[in-house]
Amino acid sequence: MPNITLYRVNNACSLAPHILLRELQISFTPIRLVFGPDGLYAADGSLSSADYNKVNQNSQVPTLVVDGSVVTELPAILTCIADMAPDRKLLGTTPMEKVRVYEWMNWLSGTMHGWAWGSVLRPARFVGDAEEMYETVRETGRKKIKACYERVESKMDGKFAVGDRLTAVDFYLYVFWRWGSKHEFKVNEKYPKWRNVMMQVEKMDSVRKALEEEDQPLQFASNL
């Protein structure tokens, strides 16, 4: 097994690869980062913002390092991890399932995360220092999040996101379910099919282990 390091932030999108590594029981070194005035740095002080910028020049998470090779962007990171245990088929079983997995991951990364949630959490990405525009950008983002969540709900026709088998997509979707709950998008009330899938995901030992390590609560009272 290769030497693996995952740079992550608690309850950020890096939760998805964290869960996937736990699910596949792959040994890795987790490095928890926190936000500072100059970017991300290690919570234990072992890595400065300048040091992390040398690992990931965008100063974003997650970053996966595999035997010295740096991998960024969540679809690529999830693919890299899932490929370490091909027998689990967490990138899909059939050719079309694999297509759907990549379709989901790219949409979640680009539209759901980069555009919709990026507008709400990081409005400066879109309008720079024009602070008078921030709330307008956030409101546009909130509308886009609702549209994205409605799309997710409409696509939940099986036991999991891609048919009846667990894939890496389900862990990625769990991140956005948690964010929607935290930011009061009333996910439990509005998206019952998505909720049912996420309830099953949260019961998994790998999910609970990752949440415990990130000091995050469970989302569903029935799972307590």
- Would you list the domain boundaries of the chain? 4-87, 90-212
Q: Distances in Å between the alpha carbon of 171 and those of 87, 90, 102, 158?
A: 18, 10, 14, 15
Average pLDDT of the segment spanning 103-116: 98
Domain 90-212 class, CATH top level: mainly alpha
pTM, to two decimals: 0.96
**Contact status, residue 115 vs residue 140, Cβ threshold 8 Å:** no
> Which of 104, 71, 110 has the alpha carbon at shortest distance from 90?
104
| Six token digits for residue 72 | 């960024």
pLDDT at 224: 66
> Which of 87, 85, 63, 60 has the alpha carbon at shortest distance from 76?
63
Domain 4-87 class, CATH top level: alpha beta
How far, in whole angstroms, is CA 142 from its chain's centroid? 18
pLDDT digit string, tens, across residues 3-52: 999 999 999 999 999 999 999 999 999 999 999 999 999 999 999 999 99
| Six token digits for residue 3 | 């030497």
Residue with token string 């869960």:
19
pLDDT at 104: 99
